[in-house]
Amino acid sequence: MQSSSVVVLGSAILLYGLSWPCDARGSDAYGLDSGLSNYSFPENFILGVSTAAFQIEGAWNEGGRGESIWDKFLHEHPTYTPDNSSADVAADSYHRFKDDVRIIRDLGVSTYRLSISWSRILPNGTDNYINAEGVQYYRNLFDELAKYNITPMVTLFHWDLPQMFMDLGGWTNPEMVDYFEDYARVAFNLFGDVVKIWTTINEPHQHCYNGYGTDYFAPALESYGVGEYLCDHYILLAHARVYHLYDREFRPKYKGKIGITLDAFWADPLDPTKEEDREAAERYMMMNLARYANPIYSAEGDYPAVVRARINTISQLQGFPRSRLPYFTAQEIEDLRGSSDFFGLNHYTTFLMTPSRMEKGWRVPSSDHDTGVRLSQNPAWPKPGAEWFSVYPPGFRKTINWITQKYGTKVPIIVTENGLSDFGGIKDYARVSYFNKYMYQMLLAMYEDGCNVQGYFAWTLMDDFEWKDGYVSKFGIYHVDFTSPERTRTPKLSALNYREIVRTRRINFDYIVPPKTASSNHI
Ligand code: NOJ
């Protein structure tokens, strides 16, 4: 029974929560850490929760679904993750989507960000055959959400490319632009009536860098410094194509919005007093965020001039006959410019930057080598989970400000992901603290710095398949029991805390406080 696998939010709050109206505000080094936030989320500010198809759905070969690059990769490399896991079942959302909707409802959020599995709709990738069962799955999910007035925000591509395209070179193949447009047209035709907020691509940088530029993610092409830029290039063009498709053929009747989601770590100088470290930090942001954002959001369009100059020069010194960074035509620059109704931002952590010509583990060529920056994190920052993850709340405010300074306030920022990695536990005080502090930094960016942020989605609704980290690193605000066939979902403290933020539209730093004796992962 689906219902038996959900533990509903409820009286647990009495056990763990303390809630009182409070004007006295305490503060830590980064802002508030006690009392009630002096700022609140405006009425029309979207508070939501996020997932991605491959990480939760499972049912990889059921209901007519085709194979994706991640299925193939995990099946061929069973020891790729630390727990030797796959996403064959994951949180089993394919069968338990009603449980998902129930817990989303319990949170009280207005909007649910999810992605469509391309190969569930088009098992071969191409639109010559549409899989009715796959379509029905998403229809049922959207209907269930609609019953409770929950708005879906749908990502078309969250990394699970149909395998067939990989055999043709994946995103390094210019033809992908056409194929992505075909798929998007099918999705808009099928679901445009109910889905009014779309994102084309999730984190092109992480997908292309890790999957094409290294072996960290599927498809593990290891085409350092070459394939990764081709992937970026065609994925950006595919995004623009689909933006204009929606704009031209679907927006007039459905009146929706469409944009892209970019990932941004914050880059602080290792030693802020050193000019070279400040330059390294700025270079990192230009190479890893502006390389994607400039073509879309800047007034002039195209890759940033500093990025173009750097990769051109290094390519030349390396004896390449032309730049490893492809060129857009004048028409493509125009097509990309302004091709997003919002700036979808995923932010998790901060790194410290100092210049470096070469580091152990870098390849030549590679985007790491092109960027020429050594990354580290402050050992004083809490590190509750994944190896890449440290907690530094001000990095969030700085990221939002950096984007605003570069691209202005006309296009709103929607934070499509933000959340904490740990190694599990229902009493996730560290995650409660992370959300409180990061969300407060976002409020500061909005109210004190004048940044135009219009939405926030917590990553993620429930524990899921965390790519390279399998099920070891957890991001869920609901615990999922992966040992039970029901994949029971149980609220963590962070779910209770987030529900309270959604309900009051403020952050109460004292709503959930760790008991003095808690040995849990408090930060
Ligand atoms: C961003 C990705 O979009 C998501 O799939 C992933 O789980 C989170 N980062 C956490 O690593």
Residue 183: closest CA among 207, 159, 200, 202 = 200
| pLDDT digits 0-9 by tens, 367-396 | 999 999 999 999 999 999 999 999 999 999
On whether the CB atoms of residues 495 and 410 are closer than 8 A, the answer is: no
Whether 18 maps to a domain, the answer reads: no
Q: Collapsing DSSP states into helix, strand and coil, what is residue 33?
A: strand
pLDDT of res. 32: 75
Whether 35 maps to a domain, the answer reads: no
Residue 216 CB contacts under 8 Å (≥ 6 apart), including other chains: 210, 468
Whether 21 maps to a domain, the answer reads: no
Cβ neighbours of 72 (radius 10 Å)? 15
Quick check: CB of 466 below 6 Å from ligand 1? yes
> One-letter amino acid identity for 239?
H
Q: How confident is the model at residue 521 (pLDDT cuts 50, 70, 90)?
A: low
Whether 40 maps to a domain, the answer reads: no
C-alpha–C-alpha distance, residues 431 and 495, integer Å: 9
* Active-site residue, from 228, 417, 466, 500: 417
**Minimal-distance CA residue to ligand 1 atom 7:** 466
CA of 208 from ligand 1 middle (Å) equals 14
Task: Please give the number of the atom of ligand 1 that sits closest to the Cα of 460.
Answer: 7
Whether 234 maps to a domain, the answer reads: yes
Task: Please give the number of the atom of ligand 1 that sits closest to the Cα of 52.
Answer: 5
| pLDDT digits 0-9 by tens, 147-198 | 999 999 999 999 999 999 999 999 999 999 999 999 999 999 999 999 999 9
C-alpha–C-alpha distance, residues 454 and 424, integer Å: 30
Please determine, for residue 436, whether its predicted confidence score (pLDDT) is greater than 80.
Answer: yes
C-alpha–C-alpha distance, residues 419 and 416, integer Å: 10
C-alpha–C-alpha distance, residues 292 and 406, integer Å: 13
Q: Could you tell me whether strands 26-28 and 31-34 are parallel, antiparallel, or unpaired per DSSP bridges?
A: antiparallel
Q: How confident is the model at residue 34 (pLDDT cuts 50, 70, 90)?
A: confident
Quick check: CB of 475 below 6 Å from ligand 1? yes
Whether 342 maps to a domain, the answer reads: yes
Q: Could you tell me whether strands 111-115 and 197-202 are parallel, antiparallel, or unpaired per DSSP bridges?
A: unpaired
Please determine, for residue 14, whether its predicted confidence score (pLDDT) is greater than 60.
Answer: no
| Across 425-451, average pLDDT | 98
Cβ neighbours of 499 (radius 10 Å)? 19
> One-letter amino acid identity for 22?
C
Question: 């992605």: which residue's tokens?
Answer: 115
On whether the CB atoms of residues 170 and 161 are closer than 8 A, the answer is: yes
The best mutation among 70, 292, 417, 473 to test binding of ligand 1, ranked by most ligand atoms within 8 Å of the C-beta, falls on: 417
- The structure's pTM equals 0.95
C-alpha–C-alpha distance, residues 56 and 502, integer Å: 24
C-alpha–C-alpha distance, residues 324 and 231, integer Å: 12
| Across 474-501, average pLDDT | 98
pLDDT of res. 1: 31
Question: 């609140």: which residue's tokens?
Answer: 40
CA of 71 from ligand 1 middle (Å) equals 17
C-alpha–C-alpha distance, residues 421 and 459, integer Å: 10
| Across 18-26, average pLDDT | 34
The best mutation among 208, 261, 262, 346 to test binding of ligand 1, ranked by most ligand atoms within 8 Å of the C-beta, falls on: 346
Task: Please give the number of the atom of ligand 1 that sits closest to the Cα of 203.
Answer: 3
> One-letter amino acid identity for 54?
F
pLDDT of res. 266: 98
CA of 409 from ligand 1 middle (Å) equals 26
Q: What is the mean pLDDT of the chain?
A: 94
Q: How many domains does the chain have?
A: 1
On whether the CB atoms of residues 400 and 453 are closer than 8 A, the answer is: yes
Residue 450 CB contacts under 8 Å (≥ 6 apart), including other chains: 404, 409
> One-letter amino acid identity for 168?
L
CA of 312 from ligand 1 middle (Å) equals 31
C-alpha–C-alpha distance, residues 120 and 122, integer Å: 6
CA of 479 from ligand 1 middle (Å) equals 17
DSSP letter for 17, please.
B
Return the CATH number at 430. 3.20.20.80
Determine what percent of the chain is predicted with pLDDT higher than 90.
92
Please determine, for residue 47, whether its predicted confidence score (pLDDT) is greater than 60.
Answer: yes
CA of 61 from ligand 1 middle (Å) equals 23
Q: Could you tell me whether strands 489-491 and 478-480 are parallel, antiparallel, or unpaired per DSSP bridges?
A: antiparallel
On whether the CB atoms of residues 389 and 351 are closer than 8 A, the answer is: no
pLDDT of res. 516: 78
| pLDDT digits 0-9 by tens, 214-224 | 999 999 999 99
C-alpha–C-alpha distance, residues 523 and 434, integer Å: 8
C-alpha–C-alpha distance, residues 349 and 130, integer Å: 39
**279 a catalytic residue:** no
99's tokens:
């449980």
Whether 271 maps to a domain, the answer reads: yes
Largest CA distance in the chain: 68
Rounded-to-10 torsion of CA 280, 401, 418, 188: -110
On whether the CB atoms of residues 313 and 324 are closer than 8 A, the answer is: no
**Minimal-distance CA residue to ligand 1 atom 10:** 466
| Across 413-429, average pLDDT | 98
Q: How confident is the model at residue 10 (pLDDT cuts 50, 70, 90)?
A: very low
pLDDT of res. 11: 31
Please determine, for residue 18, whether its predicted confidence score (pLDDT) is greater than 60.
Answer: no
Please determine, for residue 71, whether its predicted confidence score (pLDDT) is greater than 60.
Answer: yes
Residue 298 CB contacts under 8 Å (≥ 6 apart), including other chains: 304, 337, 406, 407
Task: Please give the number of the atom of ligand 1 that sits closest to the Cα of 202.
Answer: 3
C-alpha–C-alpha distance, residues 144 and 311, integer Å: 49
141's tokens:
């999910």
CA distances from 205 to 40, 287, 459 (A): 32, 10, 18
Q: How confident is the model at residue 517 (pLDDT cuts 50, 70, 90)?
A: low
Question: 């009392």: which residue's tokens?
Answer: 35
Q: Which domain holds residue 476?
A: 3-8+47-521
pLDDT of res. 522: 57
CA distances from 147 to 105, 116, 152, 161, 257 (A): 10, 20, 12, 31, 22
On whether the CB atoms of residues 166 and 227 are closer than 8 A, the answer is: no
On whether the CB atoms of residues 54 and 460 are closer than 8 A, the answer is: no
pLDDT of res. 405: 98
3-state secondary structure 402-465: HHHHHHCCCCCEEEEECCCCECCCCCCHHHHHHHHHHHHHHHHHHHCCCCCEEEEEEECCECCC
Quick check: CB of 415 below 6 Å from ligand 1? no
